[in-house]
Amino acid sequence: MSAFKRLIHFAYPLPCRKDRECQPFRIRDTPAAHRIGDALMALGYRYTDAVINWPSSGESIIPFDCSCFRETDLLLLTTRPPMHDHLIPTRRKGRRSWTQLEENLFNDPLGRWIERSTRPEMILTPTAAAISAEIAKRQSMLFRTHFGAMYQAYGSPITDEWQRFKTAPPLTVAFLVYAEHAWPGGPGFLAAFGLDPMSTLAWSWQLATRFPHLLCSTPFAMAEMKIVSPKEPPTWLSFTSAWDVNMLGVADPAHE
């Protein structure tokens, strides 16, 4: 039997009160990571550990010994990366760890496709917008921050054509980013996330069941999803399989 490849969750903790000790079992989007991890087993990966990005009080880069990773490892991120949350005043934001590892991943491969990542606003790079006309129309996106991550508006900074919504439609977006090596000689990196935990959970379920061929194959994909809100708390997480998915664009592997 061939040796398995290590799958490592690049994880962010849930917020905790300042007067309480942060516990390592309080990790964001763990069900999403498990769902994608199951699908990655077919590619020879097995979950082994997690890197927890504890929030830092400052913005100075903290050293991180990246020599612990192997070239065959895969870092899995299933939370919207808080790349620019420190620049916005809203309370609805994630907190960075400011480690060198996080900085490396935010600069590239994530920075290759995402110019700005905050909860209320996502802006894609020209490289991402060039993948398809549908992505180009949504290169700059604004989202509601309460009662779901629905569109508020989206448009193109090139054409200045905007679609604005007075009433939020039950639509949101999700992203997939992959690099065979996050840096030369480094581990692989796979990010699969929506704007909030519910859309991330739905996207992970869709990737694992309907689009497993995209995992570790395309460097970037973007989908639009129609939100289905259950009337009662669901017993099974598979309720997210009812979300309709419109694939807006998938990058050619040659982009890797």
- What's the pLDDT tens digit per position in 110-162? 999 999 999 999 999 999 999 999 999 999 999 998 888 999 999 999 999 99
Task: Record the tokens describing residue 31, joined without a space.
Answer: 């069900």
Mean pLDDT of 164-168: 87
Q: Is 219 exposed, middle or buried (0-12, 13-18, 19+ CB in 10 A)?
A: buried
**Can you give the pLDDT at residue 47?**
96
Q: Is the pLDDT of residue 28 over 60?
A: yes
Give percent of the chain with pLDDT exceeding 90. Answer: 79
**Can you give the pLDDT at residue 1?**
42
Distance separating alpha carbons of residues 164 and 151, to the nearest angstrom: 8
Distance separating alpha carbons of residues 77 and 71, to the nearest angstrom: 17
CA 164 to chain centre: 24
Mean pLDDT of 100-118: 97
Mean pLDDT of 20-46: 92
Task: Record the tokens describing residue 86, joined without a space.
Answer: 């420190």
User: Of residues 119 and 15, which shows the higher confidence score?
Assistant: 119
Q: CA dihedral defined by 203, 209, 210, 216, rounded to 10 degrees?
A: 80
Mean pLDDT of 67-91: 93
3-state secondary structure 136-171: HHCCEEEECCCCCCCEEEEECCCCCCEEECCCCCCE
User: Of residues 228 and 127, which shows the higher confidence score?
Assistant: 127
The DSSP secondary-structure symbol of 238 reads G
- What's the pLDDT tens digit per position in 34-52? 999 999 999 999 999 999 9
Distance separating alpha carbons of residues 56 and 86, to the nearest angstrom: 11
**Can you give the pLDDT at residue 20?**
75
Tell me the domain boundaries of the chain: 5-114+172-255
Q: Is the pLDDT of residue 181 over 80?
A: yes
**Can you give the pLDDT at residue 2?**
54
Mean pLDDT of 87-92: 79
Buried b (16+ CB within 10 A) or exposed e, 99-122: bebbebbbeebbbbbbbebbbbbb
Q: Is the pLDDT of residue 19 over 80?
A: no
Residue whose entry in the numeric block shows the structure tokens 């913005």: 59
Average pLDDT, the chain: 93
Q: Phi first, then psi: what are they for 163, rounded to 5°?
A: -110, 115
**In contact, 253 and 213? CB cutoff 8 Å:** no
Residue whose entry in the numeric block shows the structure tokens 């439609």: 169
